[in-house]
């Protein structure tokens, strides 16, 4: 905390003038620190009489000394596992192996017991099952109680959630119950030898990649988006077991009553496409977007776009690629006029082959692309379309 030695302070108010957050004020003949203080230490460095200082309030970490295990919260809905679950298990298994720890998995939902053995086949050491009829539909209170119960017993150092509507609702509630930190929408996770989780995600509008840690509290929690990670590979560990748990009636109670559930009509999602042609701000106009659509059609793929094109009304938000849109893992991705900002690049790293078309040889997209075409897209696109049409005609 920011402290002031009032015996040294001369009330020159220099600290008030240099504070960028307006967190200092003169009141009752002394300098007062407000809640807006961000501990930037500018006032400490600028104080002419060195009356300002930072007092450490670091307490003993609220963690079990031997806590090293990893826990994954599965996404179970409509009687089946969401594919993101295998991605979380894959990342959890990778980190658990790095620190010689065990991997647990929580499955919550009516009918989830039939999937316990399934997750064990992908490297999970302990599968905790909560299979109650009252858990047929997601309700935040009982789901939170179930995860909290497992955390108290398993005592993990790391807990991973999916950055889905369910995960984004559940993770903050569990973190608050455990009085620990949570980093949302991570693009990368790394674990240090001491079990400390480095949570990496874009910050300040994507201008930097922030590395976030939770040094004083356990468990460390993070959510990760679908299609960002590699799914787990089959691997059955000796001694792996399914453990069925029961929730008390009061834990199953909820203020939410589900009256009816209607399935959303099926839609074609770029997240599942194997071939995507992505257009960025650099295409310039709608006419060029039509060329992108034609190229995607000839390849049997779908069209993706960056955020500026959605905001301009040229494409639907369901086509948006990026951290504020969708992450993708196609077999082939062709980018046209995409600069390659962090928000976009972090969402396409799983693509098997990336071909970038851009007239700027220094565009960031070329750092993640496997092949690059530097030139005028108004010349390159028609040539590609013409060649594909010739190949198609020849094949017919």
Instruction: Tell me the HSE value of 83 on the side-chain side, using a 13 A CA sphere.
Output: 10
Burial-class residue 188 by CB neighbours within 10 Å (0-12, 13-18, 19+).
middle
Q: Where do the structural domains in the chain lie, given as residue ranges?
A: 2-54, 70-252, 270-395
From the candidate CATH numbers 3.40.50.620, 3.30.460.80, 3.40.47.10, 3.30.1280.10, the one assigned to the domain spanning 70-252: 3.40.50.620
C-beta separation of 199 from 186 below 8 A: yes
Fold assignment, 270-395: Rossmann fold (3.40.50)
Sign of CA dihedral 383, 277, 291, 390: positive
C-beta separation of 156 from 217 below 8 A: no
C-beta separation of 233 from 122 below 8 A: yes
Q: Beta strands 158-162 and 70-73: pairing type?
A: parallel
Asked if domains 70-252 and 270-395 share a fold, the reply is yes
Q: Is 2-54 assigned to CATH 3.40.50.970?
A: no
Looking at residue 349, its pLDDT comes to 82
Looking at residue 61, its pLDDT comes to 42
pLDDT tens, position by position, for the chain (396 residues)? Answer: 888 999 999 999 999 998 888 899 998 889 999 988 888 888 998 999 999 998 875 544 444 446 789 999 999 888 889 999 999 999 999 999 999 999 999 999 999 999 999 999 999 999 999 998 888 889 999 999 999 999 999 999 999 999 999 999 999 999 999 999 999 988 889 999 888 999 988 777 666 778 899 988 999 999 998 888 889 999 999 999 999 999 888 888 888 888 888 877 777 788 888 999 999 998 988 888 999 999 999 999 999 999 999 998 998 888 999 877 888 889 999 999 999 888 788 888 888 999 999 999 999 999 889 999 999 988 999 999 988 887 766 554
CB count in 10 Å sphere of residue 270: 22
The DSSP code for 231 is P
Rounded CA separation 294/281 (Å): 18
Total-model pTM: 0.74
Instruction: Tell me the HSE value of 319 on the side-chain side, using a 13 A CA sphere.
Output: 22
Q: Beta strands 80-81 and 24-27: pairing type?
A: unpaired
Give which of 289, 53, 254 is closest to 136, Cα–Cα.
254
- Distant-in-sequence, close-in-space partners of 383: CB < 8 Å, separation ≥ 6: none
The SS3 assignment for 32 reads strand
What's phi and psi for 72, nearest 5 deg?
-115, 135
Rounded CA separation 301/166 (Å): 29
Helix (H) or strand (E) holding 220: strand 220-224
Helix (H) or strand (E) holding 304: strand 302-305
Give which of 165, 216, 208 is closest to 63, Cα–Cα.
216
> Any idea which residue has 């976030």 for tokens?
212
Q: Show the tokens assigned to 79.
A: 């009687």
Rounded CA separation 271/345 (Å): 15
- Distant-in-sequence, close-in-space partners of 315: CB < 8 Å, separation ≥ 6: 279, 289, 303, 305, 309
Q: Show the tokens assigned to 181.
A: 């930190």
C-beta separation of 138 from 106 below 8 A: no
Looking at residue 62, its pLDDT comes to 47
Looking at residue 104, its pLDDT comes to 95
Give which of 231, 238, 319 is closest to 279, Cα–Cα.
319
Burial-class residue 96 by CB neighbours within 10 Å (0-12, 13-18, 19+).
buried
Rounded CA separation 119/382 (Å): 48
C-beta separation of 337 from 356 below 8 A: no
Rounded CA separation 124/10 (Å): 62
């Amino acid at each position: 905390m920011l402290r002031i030695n009032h015996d040294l302070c001369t009330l020159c108010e220099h600290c008030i003038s240099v504070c960028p957050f307006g967190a200092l004020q003169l009141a009752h003949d002394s300098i007062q620190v407000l809640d807006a203080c961000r501990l930037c230490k500018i006032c400490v460095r600028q104080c002419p009489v060195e009356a300002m200082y930072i007092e450490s309030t670091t307490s003993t970490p609220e963690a079990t000394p031997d806590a090293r295990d990893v826990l994954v919260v599965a996404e179970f809905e409509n009687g089946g596992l969401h594919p993101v679950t295998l991605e979380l298990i894959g990342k959890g298994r990778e980190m658990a192996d790095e620190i010689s720890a065990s991997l647990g998995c929580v499955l919550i939902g009516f009918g989830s017991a039939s999937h316990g053995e399934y997750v064990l086949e992908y490297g999970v050491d302990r599968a905790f099952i909560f299979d109650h009829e009252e858990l047929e539909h997601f309700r935040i209170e009982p789901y939170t109680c179930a995860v909290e119960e497992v955390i108290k017993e398993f005592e993990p150092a790391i807990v991973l959630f999916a950055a889905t509507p369910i995960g984004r609702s559940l993770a903050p509630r569990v973190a608050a119950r455990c009085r620990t930190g949570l980093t949302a929408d991570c693009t990368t996770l790394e674990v240090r030898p001491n079990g400390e989780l480095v949570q990496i995600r874009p910050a300040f509008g994507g201008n930097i990649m922030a590395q976030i840690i939770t040094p004083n509290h356990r468990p460390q929690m993070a959510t990760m988006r679908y299609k960002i990670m590699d799914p787990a590979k089959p691997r059955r560990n000796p001694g792996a077991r399914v453990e069925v748990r029961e929730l008390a009636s009061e834990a199953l109670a909820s203020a939410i009553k589900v009256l009816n559930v209607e399935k959303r009509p099926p839609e074609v999602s770029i997240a599942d496409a194997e071939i995507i042609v992505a257009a960025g701000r650099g295409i310039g106009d709608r006419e060029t977007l039509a060329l992108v659509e034609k190229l995607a059609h000839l390849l049997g793929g779908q069209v993706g776009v960056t955020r500026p094109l959605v905001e301009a009304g040229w494409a639907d938000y369901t086509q948006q690629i990026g951290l504020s849109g969708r992450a993708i893992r196609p077999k082939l991705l062709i980018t046209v006029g995409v600069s390659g900002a962090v928000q976009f690049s972090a969402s396409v790293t799983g693509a098997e082959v990336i071909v970038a078309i851009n007239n700027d040889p220094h565009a960031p997209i070329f750092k993640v692309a496997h092949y690059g075409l530097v030139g005028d897209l108004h010349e390159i696109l028609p040539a590609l379309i013409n060649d594909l049409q010739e190949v198609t005609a020849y094949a017919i």
